Structure formats: C-alpha cells, structure tokens
Amino acid sequence: MNLLVDGAEVSLAVLRKAWEAPCEVKLGDKARVRVAAAQATVDAVIAHGDQVYGVNTGFGQLAQVRISEDELAHLQGNLIRSHAVGVGEVLPDDIVRLLMTMKVIALAQGYSGVRPQLIDAICDLINNGIYPCIPSKGSVGASGDLAPLAHMSCVILGIGDARVDGKTIPAGKALAKAGLQPLVLAPKEGLALLNGTQVSTALALAAAFRTEHVLAAAVTAGALSADAIKGSDTPFDERIHELRGHAGQIAVAALLRQLMDGSDIRASHVDCERVQDPYSIRCQPQVVGACLDVLTHVCAVLQTEANAVTDNPLVFAESGSILSGGNFHAEPVALAADYLALAIAEIGALSERRIALLIDSHMSGLPAFLVKDSGLNSGFMMAQVTAAALASENKALAHPASVDSIPTSANQEDHVSMATFAARRLAEMLDNVANIVAIELLAAAQGIEFHHPQQSSAALENVIGQIRAVSPAYESDRSLAPDIREVAELVNGGFFDGPGRSILPSYSA
C-alpha cells in the first residue's frame, strides 16, 4: 500500500492495511506547506524572545525553567533520552508500523511546529522496514504515550535498537544499512514526537481489527451450533429485530439467516415439538449484535483519534498563536478500549455457553461429549473446560482500566487515562476468545456430522470443510490442543469471516 499523507482523513480500511502489511508512506506537498508554516511560527516566537512551554522551557513540573536559546536543540534531545524508560516485551512490528503511520498523520496536519524533515525521517523508517524496539509497558496515557514514543524517537536520533527483517540491531546500524543519517532535533520537535496517543490508539485499533474476525467467526460458529442441536431459525426472523431497531442486532440476525439458509437439517425438524432454544442460541442477534454496535462505535472513536492532532502545545500559523492544552490525554481511547473489552468478553462468554450446550446430550440431543462410545472416550469434555477457563479469565481482564488513575510528575499530571494498558490487555482477551470460538467451531462441526447424511446449508458445509482441512473428525480420544491452535489461527486470519465481512466496520465503511 502507498499512502500519501496530505490532509485528507485516513479511513479505517487504510489503517487496517498499514497494520496488516509493510507500506510506503509519503508526506504530500500541501501538507509540507502547512508544516513549514507552523515551524516558521516557532522560529518567530524564539526570535522574539517569548517564553513558550516545551519550546524554550523545561517540561512537566519543570515548565517554569527558562532554557537559553543555545541549548534548545540539546533540550529536545535530552527529552527523548530521559523519557525512554519503558519496560517489558517490545511491541510487535505491525503495531509499531501502525503507530508510526499515525504519528506521520498527526504531524502532517501542520499544528505541531516541526520541520518537514522530521516527518520524512519517520516515513523513512516505515518505508525501509525499520521498526524501533518499543517496550510495551511504561505509559499512563496522559501527556501522551511518553515512554513508548520516546523509544520510537530514539531510533530517529540513531540510538536504541530497531528490528529489521525480524532481527534486532542497533539503531545506528539500521539507519546506515538503509542509507539514512541520524537527525538532530530542532526546537519543539522532541515534545511533538513524545506527546500523542499513537501507541494506545494503535494497540486499540489492532484489537478492533482482530475483534472483527473473532466476531464474524463467532456468528459462523453460532449458526453451526444452532443447526447441530436442531435449533430453530425463527428467532432470527427479520420482523422480530426490526421492531427493536438496533443496527447490530438486525445485521447479525440477517447474517445468521444467510448462513443457515438451505439447511436440510433445519428442514427436517420444522414441525418438531420443541418450543424454544436456550438463550445462547436464540438470543445471538441480541447479544452479538450489541457487541457489533460496540465495535462500530469504538472504530469510529479510534478513526477520529487516528486522524487527530494530539501533541502540545499546538501551533496556529494563521494567527501566530501557540496554545497549550491537553489533547494528549488519551481518555477517549481508554474508554473505547474498556468498552471493547466488554464486547470481547461477551462474545467469548456466549460461545462458551454454546459449547456447554453441545456436549450436554440432555440439551443437545447429540452423543454425550460429542463422541462415540462416551465413557470409554471423553470427547470434548475437557475442551469445554478450557473454554470455561478462558471465558472466566476474560471476566477479570474486562475490568475497566480507565477508572484507575494515578498521579504522576509531582502531581502536575494528576489525572491519567491508563489508555495504553486498557488497549494492550485486549490482545490477551482476543487470544482467549479466538481459542474459545475455535473450540466451538470444532465442536459444532462434530455435532453437524452426527446428522449426516442430512446436510447443513452450503455455506456451513463449506465452513466444516475448512475445519476438516486442519482437524479430522473426532473418532476416539486424542489431544485437541493442536486442532484448537490451528483453527484459532484461521479465526485470527479471517478465514471464517465469510459473508460476515459485509457487516464489519473496517470492511463495510
């Protein structure tokens, strides 16, 4: 993908592509003019002798300390070095690429007072596959993602480490290998690099993109489970959902109808005596549809944030004003991430309940634990226990991070968002749900096959074929761990999106 950053809003689809694969990013000519004008405003303020936070003062609690003009470049370099204090595992390359792309988008708006050369330097990192090693922990998401963005910025200065072609090497060597030189920062540039919500936003966006795949796979698994227990598709009737009016509910019900359309298994029990199915089958549109609405809302918030200017102070070249505010506070991202956590947990919780239903012969009408000769064979007994364990973990992980503020910087930053952790923990939750849904797909496919030669719908039989390509039918006891892993990888790769892709925000927008 080639991305020209020139002032137009960047879509979710483009942001997804920047996350999924290496890309080329370039600063457009119109953006260069805006950026240069803001940088000239900073130069004029310095020449006039005005005191402006972050330009010729210290930072945070040290904002009252005036810095002499001959030390301004040194000040910005010191800021980067002193703030590079992150700990923990480094962020994956795809997250780093996405956050650098968003940093380019923010700086290119022309309100940060940096030189075009600085933005070009970030583009050079992206375009040459140089991914700074950024520790994942150390940000409270208040004055921006200070520590992680400092580690990103270190590589521009030729210090720290970077990953190139999957290998970690010194930053100076990475730059030299690409024919690049370290950059000496100009006034305001270090602060513009460090202030910003790009790390927490990248983590949250990546989680939203993964949630799309998990949600679509969960709807597919739910349709399989409904057919496996000879459940009714009447609760998915369009008329029911139109009366409530929620867009996500209507969309999920339509998707379930589409997936189950033409099932011989469904046709075989249209006139059966069962009145209603359990909620985990019957209320899928209401539950997963609500989760889809959450996902849609979260994606809208994150798209806005990805296109936002979130450093401080901000430079308004038209008026010559430099205004200090708080756009770096990542509360919108924190709240969105916490909201998404609830939806992720619920997708997994409902899927786990359907697994429990499938293995219960009294409720499903299928062989106990979905295996022949149960007793001799334990079948899917322990797979459901694994799903239950993962669903329970997610209950704890879903606790909101945004309510836990802790003051920093000698109480100058007395309320923080915790957005970075709020977003980072979503990856673990999604790993859990991908495995839960994988178990349901395996169990539901097994359940459908007990009805053969009666066939499910063409769409669902195709899904069973995808599953059987990596996991043979369960005839007698064996370890399902490799099968779960293989199918979870398919879930995360979007292989079970099917027609569900049409309702996903980053694909349908």
* DSSP letter, residue 63: T
Structure tokens at 461: 């039989």
Phi, psi values for residue 22, rounded to 5°: -55, 145
**CA-atom Rg of the chain in angstroms:** 26
Rounded Cα distance, 12 and 296, in Å: 11
Which positions ≥6 away from 108 have C-beta within 8 Å?
Answer: 5, 6, 7, 27, 28, 31, 34, 35, 119
Contact 274, 223 (CB under 8 A): no
DSSP 91: P
DSSP 340: H
| 53 annotated active-site | yes
Task: Name the phi and psi angles at 315, rounded to 5.
Answer: -110, 120
Q: Which residues share a beta bridge with 144?
A: 142
**Pairwise CA distance, residues 345 & 436, whole Å:** 11
Distance CA(471)–CA(486), nearest Å, equals: 8
445-455: burial string, b at 16+ Cβ within 10 Å, e else: bbbbebbeebb
CA distance 196 to 310: 5
Alpha-carbon distance of 286 to 245, in angstroms, equals: 11
Nearest Cα residue to 443 out of 345, 368, 391: 368
The continuous run of DSSP H or E covering 168 comes out as strand 167-170
Q: Does an H or E element contain 449, and which?
A: helix 419-449
Tokens at 392, concatenated? 């329970």
Amino acid making up residue 437 = V
Choose the catalytic residue: 53, 111, 131, 474.
53
Place of tokens 């849904």: 437
What is the DSSP pairing of strand 130-132 with strand 161-164?
antiparallel
DSSP string, 216-275: HHHHHHHHHHHHHTT--SGGG-HHHHHHH--HHHHHHHHHHHHHHTT-HHHHTTTT-S--
Asked if residues 25 and 104 have their Cβ atoms less than 8 Å apart, the reply is yes
Q: How far apart are CA 160 and CA 169, in angstroms?
A: 9
Residues 6+ positions from 478 with CB-CB distance below 8 Å: none
Which residues are designated catalytic? 53
